[in-house]
Amino acid sequence: MSEHEIPEILKKKSVRQLLPTELESRILKVLATRSMCVLSTCRDNVPRATPIEFRSKGFNLYMAGEPGTKLGNIKLNPKVSVGIFDPKSESTHNWLDVEGLQVTGIARLIGKDEPGFLDAFRLFGHPEQWINVWAGMMIEIVPDRIELLCIALKQEDYAARQVWTRPDEKSCSCSCS
């Protein structure tokens, strides 16, 4: 195939959605196997994207935030977006390796003296005495929407883009939009 030809996998059309439990399982697998993301915040219509380490507990994301612009932005506007991708596709240049998540949700800052801080801090595996010299806060992100992009799903006759939305009492956990 020449570099100008469109790969066959990209031509394949499918709109079939995964079952909600399967989608949730795949999202949780991506979250469990990645540790870096890009956290996007915004203040006064000025966006900021910050590469940052994360951990997950269920669908919630946790980050150790040092004092700076991102924490100030979250204080003023807790709506955030997070991008997580599989870096393997950068080295293989194989379309089937393209996989990632786009997370949209609400961030909450957790100070050292607040409930949940120690549990979030422990997710990173650092010695607890580090807390004594660390000046930051934990960031908890509760997602409202997670978009999974996985080109390899086309091989299983599913749409490459799958959307999970936080369930409420009246709806299912999978949005087929």
The answer for residues whose C-beta is within 8 angstroms of residue 23's C-beta and 6 or more apart is 17, 148, 162, 164, 174
Q: CA–CA distance from 2 to each of 7, 13, 90, 94, 102 (Å)?
A: 10, 22, 19, 14, 31
Q: What mean pLDDT, rounded, does the chain reach? A: 88
pLDDT average, residue stretch 64-83: 95
User: In the prediction, which pLDDT does 6 show?
Assistant: 66
Q: Give the residue-averaged pLDDT of 126-137.
A: 92
CA distance 27 to 163: 10
User: Residue 1 has what pLDDT?
Assistant: 53
Q: Which pLDDT score is estimated for 170? A: 47
> What average pLDDT score do residues 22-51 get?
96
Instruction: Write phi, then psi, for 122 (nearest 5 degrees).
Output: -65, -25
More confident residue, 106 or 99: 106
- CA-wise closest residue to 153 among 9, 44, 48: 9
Model pLDDT, residue 7: 62
120 or 97: which leads in pLDDT: 120
How do the domains of the chain map onto residue ranges? 8-167
Q: Rounded distance, CA 68 to CA 116, Å? A: 21
Selected from 2.30.110.10, 2.60.40.1930, 1.10.3720.10, 1.10.645.10, the CATH number assigned to the domain covering 8-167 reads 2.30.110.10
pTM: 0.86
